[in-house]
Amino acid sequence: MKASKFIFKVILPLIILGVGVFLWISFKELPQIKKEKSKTNVNISNKQAPSEGKKQEDLLIVGHHLVPQSYQVYVNSRGVAQAGEEIELSVETEGRVTEISREFEVGAIVKKDSILLKIDDADLQDSLIVAQARVAQAEASLAQEQVRAEQALVNWNELGYEEQPSDLVLRKPQLRQAEASLAAAISQVELAKRALTRIALTAPFDGIIAERQISVGERASRGRSVGRLISTDYSTLSLPVSPVEEQFLADSIHGSKVTFSNALMREGSPEWQGFIVNREPEVDATSKQLHLIARVMNPYSLSSDTSLTLPVGQPVTAKITGRTLEDVYIVPKSALRGPEKIHIMTAEHILAPLQISPIVTDTENIVFRAELTEEAYWVESVIPTRKEGEKVILDQSSSKKDEKDKL
């Protein structure tokens, strides 16, 4: 009984009070919501009004005419200058070095047959005298054997033998031995004379002394290197080319021009002109690259007015003239608007994307082929992707610039 009284006196009034408060708040906010809705409708109508009453202006873009043209491909490589010809110098006659030419110094340029050093010929002169004495002895022995052979035949006939005498009776073996001894002695004389002509070491070709390993007073012997000579006629370079770049080489690589620059200099590098003479028969086992053999003539500028030299061991960068691509389009790398995508303006003045597959790229340009059925311009201006498909207007100043470039 008490509980029911408590519900009617306390709980029920609280519930009624809460419902009343909720209804009061709801009715109070209703006019504000209607007011905001009316403002929203007004704003929407205001935004739509300009599009209905005024036509949107076309975008002004800077573009350049896409024209098929030729493109000269250059294949880049690196290498190190090597001597065209290189030889270890050694003497052909043993003896003490008595004289060294002033030309036989490291860095000195020598001509073919220039005398580099001389060897004492006293021992060789003695050897020649001994050889000549042996010739005289051999000649005397041969003369004696010839007389003995003739006497042996006379004695045979005087004894009345009817059969022919044997070679032994006629002393023919002894005669042949004497003749052989004389020939050997004469040969020793010739050897001694030739040795005397080789007491001077001469340069086998035009070159530059790269190394000297002997001095006056030292004894030179056969097989010992006394110096090193490298050719000044030409230098050779081995240039690696990747399989991808190989396809851009000329059909006939022999004679292809190559421009070399100092690999250690970024700017202001001297340049050397060369050409391809051959290719190595095998692909490098490690890098899987083909190597071309290039040649630079007159690397030390001996037959020209310039002082430019290409020393052995000089690292260089190489620019190999490759094939010429025909009917291709060329745009700068700045024209890219995504991976392999550029913007073009069609003949209808519509901004459109063009997917490209670059054939080759250099430091500045992208070269590609495309099947364009109508006149088009590549767009230099940076336009958002959402504008694709909209109409654009070409800036006439860029069109006039293209015409001046053609002239």
DSSP 8-state assignment for residue 91:
-
Q: What is the pLDDT of residues 222-233, one digit of tens each?
A: 888 999 999 999
- Least confident span in 121-125, 287-291, 350-354, 395-399: 395-399
d(CA 272, CA 297): 9
* Domains 59-71+326-406 and 75-83+232-325 fall in the same CATH topology: no
Token reading at 234: 């030409």
Residue written as token pair 């790229």? 361
Q: 290 has which bridge partners?
A: 241
Token reading at 300: 């030390």
Residue 173, pLDDT > 60, answer yes
Report, as an integer, the average pLDDT of 175-200. 88
Other residues' Cβ atoms within 10 Å of the Cβ of residue 129: 12
Residues 6 or more apart from 240 whose CB is under 8 A from it? 77, 78, 79, 284, 287, 289, 290, 291
Residue 49, pLDDT > 60, answer no
DSSP string across 159-174: TT--SPPPTTTTTHHH
What's phi and psi for 209, nearest 5 deg?
-75, 120
| pLDDT for res 156 | 81
Report, as an integer, the average pLDDT of 73-83. 94
DSSP string across 141-204: HHHHHHHHHHHHHHHHHHTT--SPPPTTTTTHHHHHHHHHHHHHHHHHHHHHHHHHHTSEEE-S
Instruction: Tell me what the pLDDT averaged over the chain comes to.
Output: 84
Token reading at 24: 């009061």
- Least confident span in 4-8, 50-54, 103-107, 160-164: 50-54
Token reading at 8: 């009617």
Other residues' Cβ atoms within 10 Å of the Cβ of residue 183: 12
| pLDDT for res 76 | 93
What's the CATH number of domain 59-71+326-406, 3.30.70, 2.40.420, 1.10.287, 3.40.640? 2.40.420
- Annotated domain spans of the chain: 59-71+326-406, 75-83+232-325, 89-119+200-231, 121-198
Place 257 in a pLDDT band, splitting at 50, 70 and 90: very high
Which pTM was predicted? 0.67
Higher-confidence residue: 48 or 2? Answer: 2
- Least confident span in 24-38, 115-129, 249-263: 24-38
CA dihedral 370, 376, 378, 382 (to 10 degrees): -130
> Nearest CA to 324 among 367, 371, 295, 290?
367
Report, as an integer, the average pLDDT of 86-96. 90
Residues 6 or more apart from 193 whose CB is under 8 A from it? 128
| pLDDT for res 70 | 95
d(CA 253, CA 241): 12
Q: What is the CATH number of domain 75-83+232-325?
A: 2.40.30.170
Report, as an integer, the average pLDDT of 181-204. 89
Q: What is the pLDDT of residues 346-388, one digit of tens each?
A: 999 999 999 999 999 988 999 999 988 889 999 998 888 878 8
Residue 1, pLDDT > 50, answer no
- What is the percent of the chain with per-residue pLDDT over 70, rounded to a whole number? 84
| pLDDT for res 285 | 86
| pLDDT for res 363 | 87
| pLDDT for res 21 | 62
Name the pairing type of β-strands 86-90 and 69-80.
unpaired
Token reading at 143: 């003369």
Residue 95, pLDDT > 60, answer yes
d(CA 301, CA 233): 9
Report, as an integer, the average pLDDT of 170-188. 88
Q: What is the CATH number of domain 89-119+200-231?
A: 2.40.50.100
Place 37 in a pLDDT band, splitting at 50, 70 and 90: very low
Token reading at 382: 């940076």
Report, as an integer, the average pLDDT of 16-40. 55
| pLDDT for res 341 | 93
Q: What is the pLDDT of residues 265-307, one digit of tens each?
A: 888 888 999 999 999 988 888 888 999 999 999 998 887 677 7
- Least confident span in 154-158, 262-266, 318-322: 154-158
d(CA 71, CA 80): 29
| pLDDT for res 42 | 31
